[in-house]
Amino acid sequence: MDPGSKQSPEYSVSELDRKARFVVLFLIMSGVFWLLFGTLLALVASLKMHMPDWLAASGWLTFGRVRPLHLNTMVYGWASLTGAGVALWLLSRLLKVPVMLRGYIILAGVLWNIALVVGSIQILAGGSRGIEWLEFPVSTMVVIVLCVIIMSASVLMMLAMRRVKQLYVSVWYLIAAFLWFPLLGLVSSLPIFDTPTVQAGMNWWYAHNALGLWFTPIGLAAAYYFIPKVLGRPIYSYGLSLLGFWGLALFYNWNGFHHLIGGPVPTWFVTISISASVMMVIPVVVVAVNHHMTVVGSFRAVVNSPTLRFVVFAAMSYTFVSLQGSMQALRSVNEVIHFTHFVVAHAHIGMYAFVTMMLFGACYYIIPRVTMREWHSKSLIKWHFWLTAIGVIIYAVALQGIGVFQGFAMIDPDVPFTDTVTMTVPYLVARSVSGILMAAGHLIFTWLMFRMVWRPGEQPATPLVWNKIKEEFAS
Amino acid sequence: MAEEKKYEGRDTGPDKHKMNPEEQERRVNQERAADQERPEKRDKPGVSSDFTDPEDERSMEELHRAAMEREEQLPEEGNERGPWWMYAIIVATLAFGFFYMGRYLGEISDQPHVLFTTPAPVDEVAEELDLMATGSRVYTRLCQSCHQQDGAGVPGAFPPLGGSEWVIGAPERPVYIVLQGFQGEIVRNGVTYNAVMPGFGRLLSDDEVASVVTYIRNSFGNEAPEVTPEEVAEMREAAAGRTDPWTEAGLDEFIGL
């Protein structure tokens, strides 16, 4: 990017941030609300796993409704709304144009939230579609997709009116995400998937791509932006960025069908998917090298910056979860871990340790800039980081550890099925404990966000850098 | 705008003095110089103290400077090649991926699992039909719930098969009862039974009927010649069109005993 050689009038970053303020804050704060709601549902569902009689009297609070709603509110509420807010802010900064169609995006955000409320009530009332990741009724999904399309229009207008010569790597990912997600959402809502086999194919095509072609690009775009931005060091290699992006674009779309290993689908269908899942090693390793080589030698900075702590944790989780995913796709591995808690933990490493932690990191950078205020407590940010990081690590280790044993027990015909269930109970308790840690982290995050936006009490005047306490900050 | 060109940005994130000096020597020197200028900057009113309301009376210029002070410009990307082992991983992954696809692609067809479970040829099964094994499976599936695992039935409800003359006598009786069912009162060992047994003719093939009849004729202490699928086919043909369960008299008359 080469500023200073533009003929058209330019906006300064503070003007861009000011224009983006309301849109970005609205989307992110909506997301934070759904994060809290989704966390509550997660705790209820997790406790029910080892306390099955708890809250079982009411049909509205049975596991089969609470757990899908947890997934749907986290995915379409927290991660999508906050992710969209982060994406719009990043694009405004990177294309050096204000966020376009701001009024329409606010309208879309309001509709989106209403759709989430309606969809949530319908799931709790028993109206789930019964398709994983698509439990919301079609009406809710269609509204959400239309709202994303409005954002996509804004994004494409920003792209057309850009004031930069070269598109930074984050821009590729974000533009692609805003084109891919509407396609996924619309196709999955079409009433053409009537036969069970075809519906299962659509289900996993959609669900895996929602992660890989919507949340992953937003997460990687954030990593590609914040790592060099905060460190002040250039991204290691432009060529590797290219390879990583096109590798994802080429291979990811095929991945979903490895969920159907052993199902009544043609062998070639599953085999191609497994091959593509293994091929994902290429973009993942390339992106990991690119990020690692950018960060290497600056790990001190990672410890000191609230943003980088989360972003680097998330980027490392991305590498880990993706390599794990490639391995899990192999038939011999899948045979053991399929239908066990291993896969549940894998999904949480993806959506939580990668996507959610990345969004936390992005918020710690974006919110002070759009509000022109400062985080008021560094110790609370530290608490937030350690509670969520330790929480998700306990979650992953406990469930993936027992998941392997559970898997071997389930394929052993001599082990009664009940034993494969009871053996997991202590680890399900560990999962609830980790959930409580993460929930505490979310409460801290919400409190910090609330202080930033509605600012009760005094605000510190200077940017927060850990281990570098200023005299004026102490007073 | 002039500020965009070059500025000494203060970073929110890292403390540059604590970074690895070998790596960052040039930058650190630069930053050190910049850092020394900062205290004065920070002391200016409106820039960093009383940083409260964005809608305040500060000029755009001041706001912009405040924003720029706290971050650096996004640096241009480098153009390194990457370590050799990364290329080794890429080549190995491609090789594995294509090998896997070639090895396990299977036949491009709409058949599920053509590669991992080969469907057994049908005629071979007919040749190697094991009447007792198949019969045992059919018995477990359909008969056992009433006549019990040991074929003793339930006194007063379901008559026993073990020791029953109908079972070990002429093969027609058990075959027809399996095909069309049975109703009416009968007395066995001094106990009266009056339950309806449904027919399984539509559910079972000739092979299966022959198997299950052979099975009950040679289990529970019974011993009698086996019944072949061909015999069953003939009997099924002879009673074609009949759907009602047999009665004792009707069955005797039909068989001609």
pLDDT tens profile B44-75: 333 333 333 444 455 556 655 555 566 777 88
Mean pLDDT of A93-113: 96
Residues B129 and B63 in one domain: no
Clarify whether residues B46 and B139 are in a common domain. no
- Give pLDDT, residue A98: 94
Percent of chain A predicted with pLDDT > 90: 78
pLDDT of the residue at B43: 38
- CA–CA distance, A261 with A258 (Å, rounded to integer): 6
> Looking at the structure, do residues B17 and B140 belong to the same domain, yes or no?
no
Q: What is the pLDDT of residues B224-241, one digit of tens each?
A: 888 989 989 988 888 888
How confident is the prediction for chain A on average, in pLDDT? 91
Position A305 scores a pLDDT of: 86
Number of domains in chain B: 2
- Which one, of A114, A25, A125, lies nearest residue A68 by Cα? A125
Q: Give the closest of A4, A374, A468 to B5, CB-based.
A: A4
Residue B257 pLDDT: 65
Residue of B nearest to A452 (CA): B52
Chain A contact present for B51, CB below 8 A: yes
For the segment B89-106, the average pLDDT, to the nearest whole number, is: 92
**CB neighbours (10 Å) of residue B210?**
26
Residues A196-216: pLDDT tens digits?
Answer: 889 999 999 999 999 999 999
Q: pLDDT higher for A184 or B198?
A: A184
With b for 16 or more beta-carbon neighbours within 10 A and e for fewer, the A160-181 pattern comes to eebbbeeebbbbbbbbbbbebb
Domains in chain A: boundaries = 13-465
Under 8 Å between Cβ of A323 and A281? yes
Alpha-carbon distance of A301 to A314, in angstroms, equals: 16
Sign of the alpha-carbon torsion through A427, A428, A429, A431: positive
| Domain's final residue, options B69, B85, B102 | B69
Point out the residue among B14, B27, B105 whose CB comes nearest to the CB of A300: B14
- Residues with Cβ within 8 Å of A184's Cβ and at least 6 positions away in sequence, in order, are A206, A209, A210, A213, A214
With 60 as the cut, is the pLDDT of residue A163 above it? Answer: yes
User: What would the pLDDT profile of B136-146 be if each residue is shown by its tens digit?
Assistant: 888 988 888 88
Least confident span in A90-99, A329-338, B10-19, B66-75: B10-19
Pure H helices in B19-116? 21-43, 60-69, 84-104
B25, pLDDT greater than 70: no
Bridge partners of A266?
B112
What local confidence, expressed as pLDDT, does residue A372 receive?
A: 78
Residues B55 and B127 occupy one common structural domain? no
Q: Which chain B residues touch A468 with a CB distance below 8 Å?
A: 15
Of A7 and A159, the one with more pLDDT: A159
What confidence tens digit (pLDDT) does each residue in A264-310 have? 888 888 999 999 999 999 999 999 999 999 998 888 788 888 899 99
Query: What's the average model confidence in pLDDT over A175-194?
Result: 94
Per-residue pLDDT at A142: 96
* For residue A31, pLDDT beyond 80: yes
What does the pLDDT look like over A107-123, one tens digit per residue? 999 999 999 999 999 99
Chain B, 198-237: which have a CB under 8 Å from a chain A CB?
none
B94–A282 CB contact, under 8 Å:
yes
Q: If you average pLDDT over residues A52-64, what whole number do you get?
A: 90
Tell me if chain A has a CB within 8 Å of the CB of B71. Answer: yes
Query: Are the C-beta atoms of residues A40 and A46 closer than 8 Å to each other?
Result: no
State residue B241's pLDDT score: 80
Look at residue B80 and tell me if it is in a domain.
Answer: no
- Asked if the structure places residue B187 within a domain, the reply is yes
The closest alpha carbon to A116, from A31, A41, A186, belongs to: A31
Query: What class is the A13-465 domain?
Result: mainly alpha
Q: What is the mean pLDDT of residues B127-156?
A: 85
Q: Does B86 touch chain A (CB under 8 A)?
A: yes
What pLDDT was estimated at residue A70?
97
Whether residue B227 sits in one domain with residue B152: yes
- CB contact under 8 Å between B14 and A308, yes or no, is yes
CATH number of the domain where residue B144 is located: 1.10.760.10
Alpha-carbon gap, residue A231 to A305, rounded angstroms: 9
CB atoms within 10 A of CB A377: 15
Q: What is the 3-state secondary structure (H, E, C) of A37-69?
A: HHHHHHHHHHHHHHCCCCCCCCHHHCHHHHHHH
Residues B187 and B251 in one domain: yes
End-to-end alpha carbon distance in chain B: 113
Q: Give the model's confidence band at A6: pLDDT under 50 very low, under 70 low, under 90 confident, else very high.
A: very low
**Residues B62 and B128 grouped into a single domain:** no
Query: In this predicted model, what pLDDT tens digit does every residue of A308-318 receive, in sequence order?
Result: 999 999 999 99
Predicted confidence at residue B48, as pLDDT, reads 37
Q: Are residues B127 and B226 in the same domain?
A: yes
pTM to 2 decimals? 0.73
A14 to B14: CB separation less than 8 angstroms, yes or no? no
- Tell whether the model's pLDDT for residue B83 goes beyond 70: yes
pLDDT at residue B69, as a whole number: 60
Structural domain containing residue B63: 8-69
Across A439-464, average pLDDT:
79
pLDDT (0 to 100) of residue A146: 97
Question: With an 8 Å Cβ cutoff, are A465 and B11 in contact?
Answer: yes
Q: CA–CA separation, A62 vs A64, rounded Å?
A: 5
Whether the pLDDT of residue A373 is over 50: the answer is: yes
The pLDDT score that the predictor gives to residue A239 is 94
- Per-residue confidence band for B11, with pLDDT thresholds at 50, 70 and 90: very low
Give A-chain residues touching B74 at CB under 8 angstroms: 1, 94, 168, 225, 228-229
Neighbours of B170 (CB within 10 A): 13
Question: Which of the four pLDDT bands, split at 50, 70 and 90, describes residue B152?
Answer: confident
Q: For A165, which DSSP code?
A: S
Answer whether residue B235 is part of any domain.
yes
SS percent in chain B: helix, strand, coil, step 5: 50, 5, 45
Q: Is B106 on the interface with A (CB under 8 A)?
A: yes
Instruction: For residues A2-16, give the mean pLDDT.
Output: 64
B145 in a structural domain: yes
* pLDDT score, position B62: 62
Predicted confidence band at B36 (pLDDT cuts at 50, 70, 90)?
Answer: very low
ipTM confidence: 0.85
- Of the candidates A278, A298, A461, the beta carbon closest to that of B49 is on A461
Question: Predicted confidence band at B127 (pLDDT cuts at 50, 70, 90)?
Answer: low
DSSP at B226: -
Contact B19 A301 (CB under 8 A): yes
Tell whether B95 is covered by a domain.
no
pLDDT class of B118 with cuts at 50, 70, 90: low
Q: Does B39 touch chain A (CB under 8 A)?
A: no
